[in-house]
Structure formats: C-alpha cells, structure tokens
Structure 1
Amino acid sequence: MAIYPSLQDRLILVTGGGGGIGAAIVAAFARQSAEVVFIDVDAAGAAQTVRAIVDGGAAAPRHAVCDLRDIPRTLQAVEALLQGRAPHALINNAGNDQAQPLEDVTLADWDDRVAVNLRHQFFLAQAVAPRMRAVRSGAIVNLGSIAWMMGAAGVPVYATLKSAVAGLTKSLARELGGDNIRVNAIAPGWVLTERQLEKGRADPAKFTRYLDRQCLKSHLFPPHVAELALWLCAEESAMCTAQTFVVDGGVV
C-alpha cells in the first residue's frame, strides 16, 4: 500500500467502521498514521476492528457505537469524537444492500432504507462542512455502488438511493468547492466482505457468473476500496472533485 505523508496525523471520520469495507478503510488510514475515529452500530464489530488495528501495530482508533438512523444521537457522537476540531476527511461508508423485490417494499421499508443508505450522508456532510470551511480544507468521500448503473434486479430501493449518492456528491462539490473542500464518491462493484462471502457460498456459481461480467478476472475485496479512499483524501488527488470513481474490475 502506498504511503501518503499528507495523511499523517490527520483527523479522519469514518462511518460503518465495524466491518467490511468500513473496517478496511479505518485500518488503511490507521496505517497512514492518521488519527482515525469511526462510528458503527455493532459494538462487537467495532471492538474487533480496533483489536485488529492494534494487533497490526497501528494506534487504536477511537469509536462510538451509534445507530446512524438516529440523526440527533449520531451528531452527538460525532461531536464527542471530533472534540471541537475540523476533520481532514469524512468517509460516508455505512449502508446496507439488503435485497427486497419491488412488490414487497412497504412505506416503512422505504423510509428505513433511506435512513440507512442516504440520509446520514447528507447530515454528516452538513455537520462537518462548517469546520472544514473554517480551515479552508477538507475531503468528503461518499460510498455509492454500481448497482444503479447496472440496473441490478432485486434491490430497487438500494439502487435508487445509491444513484442519489452520485447526485449528492456533485451538489456538495459545487457547494463546498469555493472553500477548498473536495467531494467525491466511490462506486464499488461486488466486494467480497465476510457478509457477501456468506451470501455467495449459498450459490457458488454466482461467483463465476459475476466474474464473467468483469474484465479483470479477480474478485474485489475491501482493501481495493480502501486504497482508493486514501488517494481521494490525500494531496495527490488535490484537483479531483465532483466525481464518482468506479472500482469494479470492469463490469460490462
């Protein structure tokens, strides 16, 4: 993994750091000697992330256990983690791609998916923007998905909300660019987290079928996304904003 001196000692806020892609992002920034803080709803998963980072020789990240669907509680947790400082970067990673056919979606399901996948991204960006503006520096990275680009079946609400992440990203980039704050999105393909591996093992042929759609015949894993997040927050990407960067092995 590349080393980015511009990330050393920087304060980085990550959501959903207790597992999967989020845990890989937290670990990647910790290896850069950044000061990482994260939020996750899963206390056990969050503790496991911290243990793995410490075992790897990096400093233990601070974290808060919080349900991001509860915006007031989330903002309180962020305030406690940031301790009045401006974060160098916000990584809006948390989300849930639970499948649900069109005909089964209720109004309550819709509202819950919005809260899990989109609403907190907006309000966390709103919360950190004044701090970043005060120091005229910062980076926001929103996690999207190629699900909406593919027209993936079985996840109509998730795909809709991930398409909204692309719109949110462009709008925030325009809103904040005058204060030297960059906003980008990452749209991953099928990343084999532990959760996805369990789902895939129920249908092993699914792995082959998906690789058939990729130009590169290797599976994606969380570090592939984390490495891109590092670059988007480092000075090496200083003139990149309002973009959605696809990391999917070339799904066509």
Structure 2
Amino acid sequence: MSYSTHYPSLKGKVIFITGGASGIGAEMVRSFVEQGAKVAFVDLDNNAAQHLSDDLHGNVWFQSIDATKQTDLQQSVKDAAEALGAINVLINNVANDMRHHVSEISEQQWHDCMKINLDPTFFASQAVYPYMQKNGGGSIVNFSSINAIVGLANMSGYVTAKAGIIGMTRAMAKDFGCDNIRVNAILPGWVATERQLQTWLNEDVENQWMESMAIKKRILASDVAKLALFLASDDSSMITGQKLVIDGGKI
C-alpha cells in the first residue's frame, strides 16, 4: 500500500529489520523502501524473503539466518553495514507466539521461547550500537505485545519474553541516550496477518476480541508499520524509553 506520510529524514537511511520476510516485518520492509531508505532484513524463511525481494525489484538486502544464533545474527548486522553503510535504524521484530500450557512446557521449550522472543532484541541492539554511536545517533524499535500487560492463557513464555522487552527498552534507553540513540517499544494488539488468520484468528475469536476494543476494526500490519516509521524518523527525536500501544483501544 502507499503511505500518506513522507518522512524526509528516512531517505537514504540504513534500516535493519529482523523477521522481515512476512507479516508485520514484510510490511515494514515495504514501508521503509517506499520512504527511500536502504533496507536490510533477515529471516529464516528464504522462500518468503525471495518473494518479497522480487516484489520490491531486488531493492533490499537479505540474509537467511536463524536469529536465535547470536553469532549469526550479529554477523548479519556487520554484513549489512558493509553492504549498505552504517545502520541508522534497527527494528527488532522477530518473534514466535508459541503456545504451551504452563503445566506442560518443558525446560527446553521455555528456553527456546526466550531464544526467539527475547534474546535477539538484546544481541541485535548490542551489534548496532557501535554504528549508531559513530553516526551520532539512531533509533531502535523493539516489538513487545499488549499481552505483556494483560497476560494470556497458554502463553506464559511468550508473555514473559515480551514483558522483558519492555524492561530492556527502558534500560537501553538509559544506556544509549547519551549517544543520541532512542529506544522505544511497540505493543500491538492482535494484528490480522496472514499467519494469524490461518492459525488462530478465526471469526468467533476475532469477534470476541473486538468486543473489548474501542474501535471495532481489524488491526493491520500497515497500521503497525506507520508507527514504526514515525519512531524511526527524526519526527520522534525526543521520544525514548517508551512503550506505545496500538490495539484499537482494547486496554
């Protein structure tokens, strides 16, 4: 889709997005390309990534990695910087909303949940810090969830990880602020991505969810991407350490 707001400060900036091949991530890749930014993204789904790259006429940098592997993730940050230039904006989007009942989750499943939903946010941020410091500033946008605030049954690991991202955002905003690096978190409600519609968000569930929303409409990936653009741009230059909810007024 075409975005009505243009951010001149994003033109030519280098954006690094984790989990960028599909869903919200893919929409953000498209939105930053439309703003004239140089976009790099990583994802494990090579087929979806190639399809996205083709749609954008190859106007993106992509690497297929497992974001749970710290060394590979941080090397991708370095590779992207060598290819496109020092990174100005990091979007920590990669996640997996895995579901386990608290009585059944194993130790390995718990650690796997943290490895995909919490750890990459820290290690990608650690890797981009020297580039942003040298640039004289930058923006890191972390993805949490409203479930970190309200909780949700059968998602204790995911909710814990997303709550951790809120705390990490606050801490890193203090750590990086002296270098003019802003760190904020987006907390989406239930976004109607293709995966969610195919897996969890059927008509009955969606109607029940909307009962407690002030605005009775689906939250789309493009709605979230618009907020990410703002937080990445210079227009949000004095916003840091914040958690911004986009949920149609559910909480």
- TM-score tier (shorter): over 0.9
Q: Give yes or no for contact 2:12–2:37 (8 Å, CA) kept in 1.
A: yes
Which consecutive aligned stretches of 4+ in structure 1 deviate over 4 angstroms post-superposition? none
- Deviation at 1:195? 0.7
Which ranges of structure 1 fall in alignment gaps of 5 or more residues? none
* Corresponding position of 1:136: 136
Q: Give yes or no for contact 1:17–1:49 (8 Å, CA) kept in 2.
A: no
- 2:73 matches 1:74: yes
| SS of aligned partner of 2:211 | helix
- Deviation at 1:190? 0.1
* Corresponding position of 2:155: 155
More deviation in 192-201 or 227-236?
A: 192-201
The one-letter code matched in structure 2 to 1:19 is S
Q: Give yes or no for contact 1:139–1:233 (8 Å, CA) kept in 2.
A: yes
| SS of aligned partner of 1:104 | coil
- 2:110 matches 1:110: yes
Equivalent residue runs for 1:58-97 within 5 Å: 60-83=59-82, 85-97=85-97
Q: Give yes or no for contact 2:77–2:128 (8 Å, CA) kept in 1.
A: no
| SS of aligned partner of 1:245 | strand
- The CA deviation string for residues 52-90 of structure 1, in whole angstroms up to 9 with x for no partner, is 223xxxx61110000001111122222111107321100
Q: Give yes or no for contact 2:88–2:135 (8 Å, CA) kept in 1.
A: no
* Corresponding position of 2:44: 41
- Deviation at 1:199? 2.1
- Deviation at 1:98? 1.4
* Corresponding position of 1:3: 6
Compute the RMSD of aligned alpha carbons: 1.2
| SS of aligned partner of 1:176 | helix
Which ranges of structure 2 fall in alignment gaps of 5 or more residues? none
The normalised TM-score by structure 1 is 0.95
- 2:170 matches 1:170: yes
The normalised TM-score by structure 2 is 0.96
* Corresponding position of 1:206: 205
* Corresponding position of 1:15: 18
More deviation in 69-78 or 183-192?
A: 69-78
Identical-residue share of aligned pairs (%):
36
Quote the Cα distance in structure 2 between the aligned partners of 1:148 and 1:179: 29
- The CA deviation string for residues 155-190 of structure 1, in whole angstroms up to 9 with x for no partner, is 010001100000000000000001100000000000
